[in-house]
Amino acid sequence: MNPPPTDHRPLAGVTVLDFSTLLPGPLATLMLAEAGARVIKIERPGGEDMRFHGPIVGEGREAMSAYYALLNRGKEIVTVDLKSPDAVEVLRPLIAGADVVMEQFRPGVMERLGFGYEALSAINPRLVYCAITGYGATGPRAAAPGHDLNYQATTGALAIGRSPLIDPPPPGLLAADIAGGTLPAVINILLALLGREKSGRGTRLDIAMTDGMFTFGFFAQAQGAATGRFPEPGEPIFVGSLPRYSLYRTRDERLLAVGALEDKFWLAFCDFIDLAPGLRDDHATPAETRAAVAAKVAGRTHAEWSARLAGTEFCVTPVASMAEAIADPHFVARGLFAHSVSTPSGRVLPAAVVPVAPQFRAPPGVVPAPGI
């Protein structure tokens, strides 16, 4: 029998011990796994909470959360009670051979359990130890609990978008979890592994989801620093203060996204909908222009706008549902949904889409989600 082909993915040979649960950490280690890393997920006996969050695929011992399956494709499982007195000794061989540790407990928890950075780096000085928390390991809020919405609230991210004209519900995107936690964790783990090649030693990464949220506020920060005045809620152009960059309801109560920021796009759209010449300077007449555009958009259904806008080039797009987006021929052609994950019941699901370039991943195929 021929030996198996060598794995040429960039993280082949890297071993990750994943102590994290729920979303930010597991999504980060999924990205590392897709790039070739061996990810060993450490779970408590019986499994972590995400295994039981509906929707559930399968029944009985084969039951598994679809969320869990997508986040943990291709990982291995070791179950250990971290509160057990011999937990560190049980995991010592894995710690000694690991390159990366990922954890997502509140600050101090891993230290109390004997799994803090100092303890593990004494076993393995080359270990890159990544801790994702809400507010970081230091500072007055370090021990505070929270979730994505709280992290967006405390960093000003939610205030930027609130406006008398556009009053949104809680945002549907988990920006703090993913853009504030997952992505900075992956970036800094890769930087730490690169730095280890030069220094020979690992390091501890303190990833605070709230720190990452301030990156979203750089427009407001720049304005405040330069002028001494931060923008009021709803004031920035990109949150809908101008009619040319906003959302409008169609006749069937769906949405049209107008993103015609540049004059060439905006004026082309104005021609397209036959907007009165006196309303095209939306800086001068924002309320009147918005009302007129809204009336034009409300005159047609979402499907009618989709047909009329096909092939146009002024940055106006019908808002797709998730089902429509997944079926969009463009995204299908790019292979975003070519990878799959199998569950213990035998059900095969589309794999989570991750921003890892195709040349760094294995070819599309079915990879299992781990049972206990």
Which residues have a catalytic role annotated? 147, 177
Beta bridge pairs of residue 203: 128
The label of the residue with tokens 């007449």 reads 285
Q: Name the residue type at position 174.
A: L
Beta bridge pairs of residue 317: 257
Give, in degrees to the nearest 5, the angle at Cα 275 between 272 and 281.
Answer: 115
Q: Name the residue type at position 259.
A: G
What DSSP assignment string belongs to 26-63? Answer: HHHHHHHHHTT-EEEEEE-TT--GGGGSSSEESSGGG-
CA–CA distance, 22 with 24 (Å, rounded to integer): 7
CA–CA distance, 152 with 243 (Å, rounded to integer): 25
Residues 6+ apart with CB under 8 A from 19: 25, 42, 82, 101, 102, 103, 104, 105, 110, 115
Query: Across the chain, where does the E strand assignment appear?
Result: 15-18, 38-43, 56-57, 64-65, 76-79, 100-103, 128-133, 203-208, 245-249, 255-259, 316-318, 340-342, 348-350, 366-368
